[in-house]
Every structure is written in structure tokens, then in C-alpha cells.
């Protein structure tokens, strides 16, 4: 038997807040779309960060969120395209570039890498 939860999404980019009842057995993004609410998304399979949110209150299950590191998930980030509500929930959309930087920023800006050779000074 399915439960239904009150899910509130604060869309930071648009300055709009949406609140809907969402079944626990349907992706949150899909539930909002079925009711005509447009939220940010891209891949729909948990591989990018376009639909990333920060959880303000409540619990989410996102076993398919391969595009979001376990570390960021522990810090309260989620991907709405592959997330299920596990309680009443309040989330806030995030800037995709901010989330991408949090996840991958430590790997960039370290210069060119050459297979096993030290970098030459320019």
C-alpha cells in the first residue's frame, strides 16, 4: 500500500514555491510534472546535477542517484528525477554549476596531466 507525502519545492531560480501531495512509489520530479509543475531537469536518470536539490526538512530515498556522490547525499543533496519521498518534505533547487563544483571541483584547476610524467613549467 502506497503512502502520500506533502512535498514542497522552493525553486530558487524562479522565486516560486510549489507544494503537492506525492506518492512514495513515484519519482518526485515525475509527480510534479504530471500536475503541470515545471522543475529543472535534464537526463531523467540520476546521472547529472540539473535537478539537484538541498533537503531542508524530511527524508528522501534515491538509490539510483549515480550522478551525486555519497558524500553530497550525506550532506543533504538529492536528485529529484530519481528520488522518492519518505516523509513530508521540503527541498530547495540548487544551481547546477554549484553542485557540480561541490562534487568535482577538487579535480579541476590542477594543471595538465601527462601519463606518469611530471609537468613541464611553461
Domain of 56: which CATH number? 3.10.20.30
Domain that holds residue 83: 4-96
- Whether 122 is in a domain gets the answer no
**How many domains, the chain?**
1
The pLDDT, as a whole number, for residue 122 is 44
C-alpha cell at 36: 503541470
**pLDDT at position 17 over 90:** yes
Residue with cell 601527462: 114
For residue range 26-73, what is the model confidence (pLDDT) as tens digits?
Answer: 999 999 999 999 998 998 899 888 999 999 999 999 999 998 999 999
Q: What is the pLDDT of residue 116?
A: 57
Domain annotation covers residue 101: no
Q: How confident is the model at residue 117 (pLDDT cuts 50, 70, 90)?
A: low
CB contact at 8 A, 73 and 65 = yes
Residues 88-114 have pLDDT tens digits of 999 999 988 888 788 777 655 554 545
Q: At which residue does the C-alpha cell 528522501 appear?
A: 60
**Would you say residue 15 has pLDDT above 90?**
yes
Q: Let me know if residue 105 belongs to a domain.
A: no
Amino acid at each position: 500500500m502506497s503512502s502520500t507525502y506533502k512535498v514542497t519545492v522552493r525553486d530558487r531560480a524562479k522565486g516560486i514555491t510549489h507544494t503537492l501531495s506525492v506518492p512514495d512509489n513515484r519519482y518526485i520530479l515525475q509527480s510534479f510534472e504530471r500536475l503541470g509543475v515545471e522543475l529543472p531537469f535534464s537526463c531523467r536518470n540520476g546521472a547529472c546535477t540539473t535537478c539537484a536539490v538541498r533537503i531542508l526538512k524530511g527524508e528522501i530515498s534515491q538509490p539510483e542517484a549515480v550522478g551525486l556522490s555519497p558524500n553530497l547525499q550525506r550532506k543533504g543533496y538529492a536528485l529529484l528525477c530519481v528520488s522518492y519521498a519518505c516523509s513530508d518534505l521540503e527541498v530547495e533547487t540548487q544551481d547546477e554549476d554549484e553542485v557540480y563544483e561541490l562534487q568535482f571541483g577538487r579535480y579541476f584547476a590542477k594543471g595538465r596531466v601527462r601519463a606518469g610524467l611530471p609537468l613541464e613549467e611553461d
